Amino acid sequence: MVAPRMVELMHEASGIGLAAPQVGLPWRMFVTHVPDEDPIDRVFVNPSLRLDLCGLSPQPYEEGCLSLPDLRLDILRPKGATISATGDDGRPFQLSDVGLLARVWQHEFDHLEGRLIFDLAQPVDGSIVKRWRKVYDAQ
């Protein structure tokens, strides 16, 4: 099974999320484990995401990424989100959040859409992003 191995890799890297494209798989799947918010290992297969600003403009928050070690950038994201997916048990489920979980879902969903945090970085981070793009594109 792939999902248990992805969960294992996420924990080994001290991450709170990992998407299939990050480990070379072309699947629309990611795993999460956010200890203070959702302390179980959760698998999201074929997720769909609905964003909710919660009456606020997008909120900045410093994000890191297992694909880009040592890079942390302020990323603007809507505060809330609702996600629908199929779990590793084959059952569909839906969750909503207005905090860190919503941000993690958005971050991992971005991987499924081919986006990394440097694609969403604020202009103030422009020089950092340019340096990382050169390193990333050279690999």
- Indicate which residues carry an active-site annotation: 108
Give the DSSP H or E segment for 71: none
Structure tokens at 107: 């971050």
Judge residue 73's burial from the number of C-beta atoms within 10 Å of its C-beta, 0-12 exposed, 13-18 middle, 19 or more buried: buried
Structure tokens at 30: 């990611």
**Region label for 90, one of left (φ > 0), alpha (ψ between -120 and 50) or beta (otherwise):** left
